[in-house]
Amino acid sequence: MYILKKDGNFIFRSTSTNSKGFITPLATDAHLHFIALGEKLNSIDLEFKNLSEIKEAILLKLKEKPSKLIMRGWAEPDAEPTKKFLDEINSEIPIMLVRRCGHIAVINSKTFEELNFEGFEKYINFDTGRIVESSIHLFYEKFGVYTDIQKNFEKVENYMLDLGYGFVHSDDLHGIKPENLPYENTRIKVFEKVAIENYDDLVFKFNNGYFNNFNSVKMFLDGSFGGRTAYLKEKYSDADTKGELLWSEENLEKVLRFCEKNKFHLAMHAIGDGALDVILNVFEKVKPILTHRVIHAALIQDYQLDIIQKHKLILDMQPTFIKSDIHILNKRLGDREKYSYRFKEISDRKIPYFISSDAPIERVCWWEYPEILAGHGISYKESLMKLFYAPEEIDSFSRESSIEEYHLQYKNNPFENYEYPEKIFIKGNEKIFQSK
């Protein structure tokens, strides 16, 4: 068989079975929200369901005997659930049904009993059980963001192994504590980041053991194109705003220096070119020694590519966004659309980059990325090396050392004729690869 090495070559090795297959490591997803994806896989979406279908869905989930229940997706005209509707189904555990938009929810009487809504009265309708905006977060603070972290983990681990993933760089540590993450002795290798709100939050988390097992920091400099919250250098083409900048240069500089000093990897969410400017100004000043990364980097000006090239900065980009943003990019950005998702220029300039999903916002589908990126001038070999080996640079886990037990098998050389793998091998068990 031919085994893919880190240097990008398939090396022949004769084996007892003498298979002619091509062997690669399992794929890496360099940016996703692992537990949140598990939550999504475990939950029943209420979208387009009427009240009796919603009732059915709740009863089904109650059979799992949860200590609380959060479900999402209802909306008018299909359904308008109320407190009374929920109470008739269950009044033993707190239940919250979040509307499709995420800004409105309905809760049952048990939740009213256990939660203190003092100071939030204007967000609450005690008769209908409707709560809006920040009062929804009171529920999450008291009962947790996820229905059941352990069950989410079991679900998502199996789901991703079945799809040929062996490694993930996850981003779940907001609103939960590190000891709640079930990441010991996992079959899929999870590299987690600690999300921070500001510099003081970083220092607090550092002093409270958040970094005992993790050495990556995550922060959000801006939002998204969809919500016009990605921070642009110039105003949006379809609104009188540049978006929202969540960090000042001054605070980012303090965080970057802290990460350099403590040997932490800093991952910075930045979608707009304005947010990227903030990062690059700080990099020009601090001149970091370690490797850090920008997650998304969806809009990059030419001069910004020049500065990125000067520094050890990885761009962590999502091929599926090209397609899902296609309907809004021109409206939001006008001519600037040509500076979005610049995979080809980034590759030509040899700027290091990773490819990832950002699930559950997008699907996990690593096998589709080489085809998507081939349409942008990236070779299959380059995409596959990004998926199989590139993230080693940050997580330092040798893919070659685990390839005997964990690997994908292709019939032909996938660098030449791109194809999906035939089989997945995990600890001696083989499975047929099936895309989803």
Tokens at residue 83, please? 């407190």
By the rule CB under 5 A, 358 interacts with Zn ion: yes
Residue whose CB is less far from Zn ion, 128 or 229? 229
* 407 neighbors 23 (Cβ within 8 angstroms): yes
Contact range with Zn ion by CB under 5 A, out of 96-104, 157-165, 355-363, 375-383: 355-363
Q: How far is the CB of 223 from Zn ion (least distance, A)?
A: 11
Residue whose CB is less far from Zn ion, 192 or 358? 358
- Residue 128 to residues 85, 86, 133, 180, 389, Cα–Cα distance (Å): 9, 10, 16, 34, 53
Q: How far is the CB of 364 from Zn ion (least distance, A)?
A: 13
User: Which residues in 33-181 belong to E strands, given as ranges?
Assistant: 69-74, 95-99, 104-107, 124-125, 130-132, 165-173
Query: Site for Zn ion (CB under 5 A): how many residues?
Result: 1
Label residues 333-360 b or e (16+ Cβ within 10 Å = b). beebbebbbbbeebbeeebbbbbbbbbb
Backbone φ and ψ of 86, nearest 5°: -70, -45
Residue whose CB is less far from Zn ion, 27 or 131? 27
Residue nearest to Zn ion (CB): 358
Q: How far is the CB of 33 from Zn ion (least distance, A)?
A: 6
By the rule CB under 5 A, 222 interacts with Zn ion: no
Residue whose CB is less far from Zn ion, 222 or 358? 358
Tokens at residue 260, please? 């350099």
CA 390 distance to own-chain centroid: 18
d(CA 248, CA 198): 10
Backbone φ and ψ of 230, nearest 5°: -60, 140
Helices (H), 145-198: 149-162
Residue whose CB is less far from Zn ion, 195 or 378? 195
* 277 neighbors 247 (Cβ within 8 angstroms): no
Q: How far is the CB of 165 from Zn ion (least distance, A)?
A: 16
Q: How far is the CB of 194 from Zn ion (least distance, A)?
A: 14
Residue whose CB is less far from Zn ion, 1 or 365? 365
Contact range with Zn ion by CB under 5 A, out of 101-109, 281-289, 356-364, 370-378: 356-364
Residue whose CB is less far from Zn ion, 58 or 149? 149
Residue whose CB is less far from Zn ion, 147 or 357? 357
User: Which residues in 207-343 belong to E strands, given as ranges?
Assistant: 216-220, 265-270, 292-296, 313-317
d(CA 122, CA 167): 45
Contact range with Zn ion by CB under 5 A, out of 142-150, 226-234, 333-341, 353-361: 353-361
By the rule CB under 5 A, 395 interacts with Zn ion: no
Site string for Zn ion, 310-349 (x = CB under 5 A): ----------------------------------------
Contact range with Zn ion by CB under 5 A, out of 14-22, 120-128, 306-314, 351-359: 351-359
Residue whose CB is less far from Zn ion, 143 or 366? 366
Label residues 127-146 b or e (16+ Cβ within 10 Å = b). eebbbbeebbebbeeebbbb
Q: How far is the CB of 45 from Zn ion (least distance, A)?
A: 20
Interacting residues with Zn ion (CB under 5 A): 358
